[in-house]
């Protein structure tokens, strides 16, 4: 976009945690880059909150995405953000692409193999310009890791291990009580939660895998594990209120008392103490974690074998204190280890003449030599800029995916009027869809107890 270009005109489809609190908020902070000119959401309070902040007229507020897209010409839209529930992604994306609009599509792009191929075929046919919300790719951390790998500094990749540490409270919130608790309402956890990680693996590997194998289960958040006498809801006199790590009032009334954004906003539009209490009395977030109707796995390990010989392992667990990712990559000429939220990355280079590439998103903290041969060990820091990190307003944990949310939106908005960056987005669409195919293969492997070949997955 040139300096003189007017701000883009964007519509937000789905004014929830992502549409309003993440992307809408970014646009409100960058009015010179893009404006929210229409909002669709059936929940009036959510719709109006974003629409009021953007100063929208009543006619530019819609209770469904369909009438909004039907008014696209009148609204002079450039792009739309599809931040609807998981099962409402394919139809609005293709409808917007038919209108020639650029789309930022939240992950998961689709929740079944058939829907995914419908999206992929439609996108190819329409030469659609679609970016998928794989925000982690845009973080300084993963950009740095990818730059080191693609420079060849650590040689050919041999193993990759990514650990997705969901965090016990986050898993209870989203995957036991919340929107992603049941595969039939949203999608399997390996897609809903870890398509990001599979996308990173696909990006680092440079190709789709040959085979996918996965094991895991819902092992803990079941009725059999309920402590004696635990009622269906935390507020119904639970005798374990003091000791249970998942006691909902402690989350939402005590520790998150000062937060009114995600995760508290998921409870409802009234985030006062009374509103929260009422929501815990009657809504899903007040349920005992052992008496919910959840069925998605709470831990899963997936092994992927790639044509060039790389084997990658993705290990995901609900039972972690931190809510972050860690990575360990071994290559024929070096090794990388890193921790997403701290931004710390350690690179070991085996060859005496090996060099790191330019790493614009990281700084070198120190360099040492590891005995006995004295090979180089370089410690890097790749942290999100403070303005992008959204730190602090939720009791210290990091919102904004380590800077990825802001960086994705920045890249997306820049790409709408820039053919070269649009090409990069379109190329990443195919890779992003591969990450979904990898997730479908993993789930199939887990459920059928066998190795799944890549060609089976693409055929659905
Ligand atoms: N990229 C990421 O890291 C990331 C993180 C969290 C969620 N997500 C994904 O983003 C999407 C949105 O998640 P969320 O947490 O914002 O959910 P949310 O429930 O907070 O928001 C979705 C909104 O869509 C609205 N909606 C439902 N049907 C609609 C319709 N027909 N027309 C218009 N609006 C409609 C709902 O009322 C709701 O307000 C999901 O697919 C989710 O999986 C992505």
List b or e across 156-175, with b for residues whose CB sees 16 or more CB atoms inside 10 angstroms.
ebeebbbbbbbbbbbbbbbb
Is residue 387 scored above 80 in pLDDT?
no
CA 82 to ligand 1 center in whole angstroms:
8
Distance 87 CA to ligand 1 centre (A): 10
Ligand 1: atom nearest CA of 43 is 37
CA of 89 to the centre of ligand 1 (A): 9
Ligand 1 centre and the CA of 187: distance in Å?
A: 13
Kindly tell me if the per-residue pLDDT of 396 is higher than 70: no
Residue 17 Cα, ligand 1 centroid: separation in angstroms? 7
Decide which of 457 and 95 is more confident.
Answer: 95
**pLDDT for 258-312, tens place per residue?**
998 899 999 998 999 999 999 999 999 999 999 999 999 999 999 999 999 999 9
Work out the pLDDT band at 386, boundaries 50, 70, 90. low
Contacts of 38 (CB under 8 A, 6+ apart): 11, 12, 56, 60, 61, 62, 68, 71, 75, 77
CA angle 262–115–21, rounded 5-degree value: 15
The sign of the torsion formed by the CA atoms of 202, 187, 24, 399 equals negative
* Ligand 1 environment, Cβ below 6 A: 13-19, 40-43, 46, 64-65, 83-86, 88, 106-107, 133, 135, 179, 192, 401
Coil vs helix vs strand at 109: coil
* Cα–Cα distance list, 402 to 139, 387, 396 (Å): 6, 11, 13
User: Is residue 394 predicted with pLDDT exceeding 90?
Assistant: no
Other CB atoms within 10 Å distance of the CB of residue 98 = 14
Nearest atom in ligand 1 to 196's CA: 3
Q: How confident is the model at residue 87 (pLDDT cuts 50, 70, 90)?
A: very high
d(Cα 429, Cα 422) in Å, to the nearest integer? 11
Question: How many DSSP H helices and E strands does the chain contain?
Answer: 16, 16
For a pocket test of ligand 1, which of 24, 85, 191 has the largest count of ligand atoms closer than 8 A to its C-beta? 85
pTM of the model: 0.94
99 vs 80: CA distance, rounded Å: 11
For ligand 1, the distance from its centroid to the CA atom of residue 18, given in whole angstroms, is 6
Ligand 1 closest atom vs CA 84: 24
Average pLDDT over residues 243-248: 98
Report the alpha-carbon angle 269-135-444, nearest 5: 95
Question: Above 90 in pLDDT, residue 393?
Answer: no
15-73: pLDDT as tens digits? 999 999 999 999 999 999 999 999 999 999 999 999 999 999 999 999 999 999 999 99
Rounded average pLDDT over 154-158: 98
């Amino acid at each position: 976009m040139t300096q003189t270009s007017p701000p883009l005109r964007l519509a937000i489809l789905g004014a929830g945690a992502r549409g309003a609190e993440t992307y809408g908020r970014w646009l409100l902070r960058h009015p010179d880059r893009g404006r929210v000119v229409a909002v669709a959401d059936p929940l009036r309070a959510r719709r109006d909150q974003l629409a009021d902040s953007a100063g929208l007229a009543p006619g530019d507020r819609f209770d469904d995405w369909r009438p909004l897209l039907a008014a696209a010409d009148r609204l002079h839209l450039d792009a739309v953000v599809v931040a609807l529930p998981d099962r409402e992604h394919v139809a609005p994306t293709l409808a917007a692409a038919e209108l020639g609009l650029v789309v930022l599509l939240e992950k998961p792009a689709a929740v079944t193999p058939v829907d995914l191929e419908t999206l992929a075929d439609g996108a190819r046919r329409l030469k659609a310009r679609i970016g998928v919300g794989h925000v982690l790719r845009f973080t300084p951390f993963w950009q740095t890791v990818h730059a080191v790998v693609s420079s060849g500094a650590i040689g050919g990749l041999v193993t990759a291990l990514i650990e997705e540490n969901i965090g016990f409270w986050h898993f209870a919130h989203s995957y036991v009580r919340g929107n992603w608790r049941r595969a039939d309402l949203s999608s399997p956890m390996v897609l809903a939660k870890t398509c990001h990680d599979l996308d990173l693996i696909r990006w680092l590997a440079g190709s789709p895998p040959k085979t996918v194998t996965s094991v895991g289960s819902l092992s803990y958040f079941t009725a059999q594990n309920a402590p004696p006498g635990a009622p269906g809801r935390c507020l119904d006199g639970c005798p374990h209120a003091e000791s249970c790590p998942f006691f909902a009032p402690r989350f939402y009334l005590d520790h998150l008392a000062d937060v009114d954004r995600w995760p508290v906003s998921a409870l409802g539009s009234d985030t006062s103490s009374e509103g929260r209490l009422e929501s815990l009395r009657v809504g899903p977030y007040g349920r005992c974690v052992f008496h919910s109707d959840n069925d998605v796995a709470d831990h899963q390990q997936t092994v992927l074998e790639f044509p060039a010989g790389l084997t990658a392992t993705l290990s995901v667990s609900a039972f972690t204190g931190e809510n972050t990712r860690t990575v360990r990559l071994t290559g024929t000429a070096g090794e990388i280890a890193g921790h997403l939220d701290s931004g710390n990355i350690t690179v070991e280079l085996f060859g005496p003449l090996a060099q790191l590439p330019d790493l614009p998103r990281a700084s070198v903290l120190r360099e040492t030599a590891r005995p006995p041969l004295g090979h180089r060990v370089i410690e890097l820091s790749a942290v999100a800029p403070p303005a992008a990190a959204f730190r602090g307003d939720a009791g210290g944990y990091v919102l904004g995916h380590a800077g990825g949310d802001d960086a994705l939106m920045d890249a997306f908005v820049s790409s709408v009027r820039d053919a070269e960056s649009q090409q990069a987005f379109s190329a990443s669409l195919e890779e992003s869809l591969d990450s979904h195919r990898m997730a479908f293969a993993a789930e199939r492997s887990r459920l059928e107890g066998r190795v799944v070949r890549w060609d089976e997955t693409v055929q659905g």
